[in-house]
Structure 1
Amino acid sequence: MAAAFLSTANTFLPSTLSSSSSSSTTLTTPTSVYPHKHSAKRQLILCKAVIESPLPSSPILTKRSLSICLTTALLFSVAAKGYSEANAAILEADDDEELMEKVKKDRKKRLERQGVISSSNKETAYLQELVYKLSKVGQAIDNNDLSAASSVLGPSTDVDWVQKANTAFRKLSSSPEEKTEVDTFNSSLSSLISSVIRNDVESSKIAFVSSATAFEKWTTLTGLVSQLKGL
C-alpha cells in the first residue's frame, strides 16, 4: 500500500567383562530395556573376548566362535535396523499428529477471526476512512503540497478519524504481532503530522511510508486486506 500511496517508498554401559583364571569367560551386563539388543550386544562382546584371549583355543572352539560372531553380527544389524525404522515411524506419526493439530487450530482461529470481522461493520468503515485519508495525504506529499496534507491529517492524533481507527485496531487486533504494527502505525503517524506541520517534505515522506507500511502489514495479519478498498 505504501507504494500505491507514494511512489517514492531456525549411552550400555560397556558391558563389564570379567575373566576368570580358567578357559571359560564370564560376561556381566546390565539389564536392558531392549532384550534383543542386549543379547546381540552380549554376543558381540563375547566374540571379542574369545578372539583376543591369550589362552590357546582349539580349532573347534575357534570355528564355533567365528560362526557365533558372524551370526550375531548379522542379527544385531537386522535388529538395529528394525529398531531404527520403528523409531522413525513413531517420530513420523508424532509429527503428523502435531501438524494436524496445528492445522485444526489455525482453521479455528481463521473462522473466529472471520466471525469477528463479519460482525464489525462499523469498525471496518472506520478503517476504510483511514485508507482514504492516507491516500489523499500520500498524493499531497508526493506533490510536495504539505498544506493539503495538513488539512487532511489535522493538527494531532487526537482528531476524530484517528481515534475511530484506533477503536477498530483495538477490537480487531489479537496477536502480539498485530498490536506491534498498530503501535508502529500510531508512532509513525504522529511523526508524519509533526513533519507536515514543520513543512519538512523529506521527513514527511519517510514518516508516511512507515505509517502506510505498518497499516498494510496489520491488514494482512488480521485478514482485512481483502475487505478494504484501495489497498
Structure 2
Amino acid sequence: MFDISTICAIASPSGTGAIACLRLSGKEALNILNALIIESNTDIEKFQARKLYKCSLGKAQEIVDEVLVTYYKAPHSYTGEDSVEIFCHGGAYIQQRLLELMLEAGAKPVAPGEFTQRAFLNGRLDLSQSEAVAELISGVTASQHNLAMKQLRGGVKNEIAELRQELLNFVSLVELELDFPEEDVEFANREDLQALIADIISKINKLILGFKYGNAIKNGLGVAIVGRPNT
C-alpha cells in the first residue's frame, strides 16, 4: 500500500520565467486549492474538469498572484487521482509562496518521481512508459526523443503483450497434448507449433536488438582511439 496523501510540487523548471506551473495530486487537491482561493470567477463547487478558471490565490489579506487553474478528475489525470494544476507568474517568490501555502493547507511535498510513480501504481502507465517519461525529459537529441516517444505511446508495451499472448497460446496447446497423451487425436499440429516457436524466438530477438539499439542511442557508444598520436 502506498501513501495516498495529497502531494504538491512546482512542476516547471527552477528559476524565473514568464509562467510557472504548480501541481496538486490526491483526494484533497480541490479542498487544498479552495483554502488558497481569495477571489475566483467561478465557485469551486462548480469547477468542471479540464477547464481553465481564473483565481486570486493567497492567505487572508495577502494576494500572492492571479492565476489560471485546471482541475482533473480521477481517474482521468496523469496520476489517476484528483489533480489540480496552477499556472502562475514565474517569479521565484510567487512559486515558493504558493508552495508554502499548499503545505500549510495540508499537502505533502512530493518525493522525486512520485507523480509518475502514482501514475504507474494507479495503472495509468506501465513500467516501460514510466521510464519513457524520464527519458523524454532528459533526452537532448532527436533520436532520443523519437525513441522515448515511441515507448511512451506503448510501442514496447504492445510488443511484449503480443509476445505474451503467443507464449500463452503455445503453452495451452502443449498442455492440451500432455493432458491427453493416450488419445489418438492430435490436438496441436507439430508444424504449427514449430512455426509458433520460430515466431516467438524472432520476436524475442527483435526485442533484444531493440534494447541494444535503444541503449546505444540513450548512452552513446564507447570508442577507443588506438595508436601513436599524429605529429
Q: Greater Rg, structure 1 or structure 2? A: 1
TM range (shorter): under 0.3
Greater fraction of residues in strand: 2
Normalized against structure 2, the TM-score is what? 0.26
Q: Which has the higher contact order (CA 8 A, sep 6+)?
A: 1
Higher helix proportion: 1
